[in-house]
Amino acid sequence: MLKNIDALDRGFQVTAEKTRKECSDELKELQRFIVGMGIFAREVLNDFFNEKLIQRRKWGNSLLTWCFLESWRSCGHLLFLSYNGLYRSVFYNIRHLLESAVQALYLDSRLREMENISFLEPDKHIDNIFVKLAILREVEDKREYHTLRLIDELQIPYQIPYRKQLTKTYKGISQAIHPTHKQIESTMRDLTSHDKLAATVDCKEIERITTHLRDVYDIFIFLYITYFSEVKDSLKKNSKFVDYVKTYKLYLTSKMLGIKLGKRES
């Protein structure tokens, strides 16, 4: 398979076809969750155009906003990787989303005094968002800016056990990234088979991807609302978004918006 690009391409085509046949339900559920996030994405974009609801300069200068939009664009990559059995890469991407969200809120919160510098009025000052990006470039790999440490330092004025949920989710994704004995056994089976698969096909892994992505976006929405508290009422009044929160049992989001959930299945 590694002899040339054509052989590798054929291997991934075989893997994708096997995934479609054996894991169609799991893939459809992952796709439904991602498509459903469009309800929140449209609210985020509506905020930008609704000057009465939220100031445009705060929106445009928020790292959290841009991290969400970047993550939304990359969701298609997650589906593609899942189709091709590249589960560990998917988990890396999901963990990156969580790390980015925590770092973004941390810097947004620390630099609130810069909100009066407008991203949308570049003639006035150096754009706030570019200052934040410059800081992020310098610190994102430093030990003191590692995710678990930042989670401990977040100051969110709500009586919701968010630190425990964030830490649990981060550690769970990190465990999914590292190979277990089951993954190694699957690789051994694949190498001795004649299917010419480029990667192992495992429907349960796709289920885990949906679960972890759900948990991370629950955290992301929660963090977004803590910074942009102006959007709480509009989200609560959005019946489609409320149904989405109930369907996927987004715990932190439901606590923030006062939405009652049924028993959650992990």
Cα(16)–Cα(38) distance, integer angstroms: 25
Helices (H), the chain: 5-22, 24-36, 38-49, 56-60, 63-83, 87-110, 128-139, 147-153, 162-177, 181-191, 203-227, 232-237, 239-248, 251-257
Task: Determine the residue type at 127.
Answer: D
**Which residues of the chain fall short of a pLDDT of 70?**
1-4, 6-9, 47-57, 112-145, 155, 157-159, 179-199, 263-266
- Prediction pTM value: 0.79
Place of tokens 């939009």: 69
Is residue 43 within 8 A of residue 238, CB to CB? The reply is yes
At 111, give phi and psi (nearest 5°). -115, 35
- Give tens-digit pLDDT for 131-149: 666 666 655 555 445 777 7
List all residues 6 or more positions away from 78 whose beta carbon is below 8 Å from its beta carbon: 30, 34, 90, 93, 94, 209, 213
- Give tens-digit pLDDT for 101-116: 888 888 888 776 555 5
